[in-house]
Structure 1
Amino acid sequence: MNANPPNDPHRLDHEQMLRIRLGVLKREHRDLDESVVALQEQGRADMLTLQRLKRRKLALKDEIARIEDELFPDIIA
């Protein structure tokens, strides 16, 4: 039995879920960026930690771009 019928006002559609996910990813990317800058300014981060944080930022950036492309496709006129 379906817990959320199709006309349930509490049910999120695919686009709404993507928009929420996009917001979460953007916040995480911004937080990582701030962490990288702070670690570099303090001079307390080892290179391995910085590389991991930067790699995660790139992965987030790719995921953000994928979701934005799905939400806002380029329309060739």
Structure 2
Amino acid sequence: MAQGKFVSSTSTIKASKQNKAALSVKSSKQAAKLAKSRFGGKVLKVENKKAGYRVKLIKANGHIISVYVDAKTGKINGG
């Protein structure tokens, strides 16, 4: 008979759900902060879209970029 400890995977599932919740973006300010931390520059405008936020930034080199921050996942597209 094998001996050892049984480790439940329930805690792993709960931790995974908590991590996903932590990634959700709940405000335009949070979306701007996330985009700025990823790309740098200065935030020009944040638009609340259907499932996220469109963030427009001006980089130090003068280039203007527009990125989309998914409100549910925190994933950033564009740039």
Normalising by the smaller structure, the TM-score range is: 0.3 to 0.5
Determine which structure has the larger strand proportion and give its number: 2
TM-score of the two chains, using structure 2 as the length reference = 0.34
Determine which structure has the larger helix proportion and give its number: 1
Which of the pair has the greater relative contact order for Cα pairs under 8 Å at 6+ separation? 1
TM-score of the two chains, using structure 1 as the length reference = 0.34
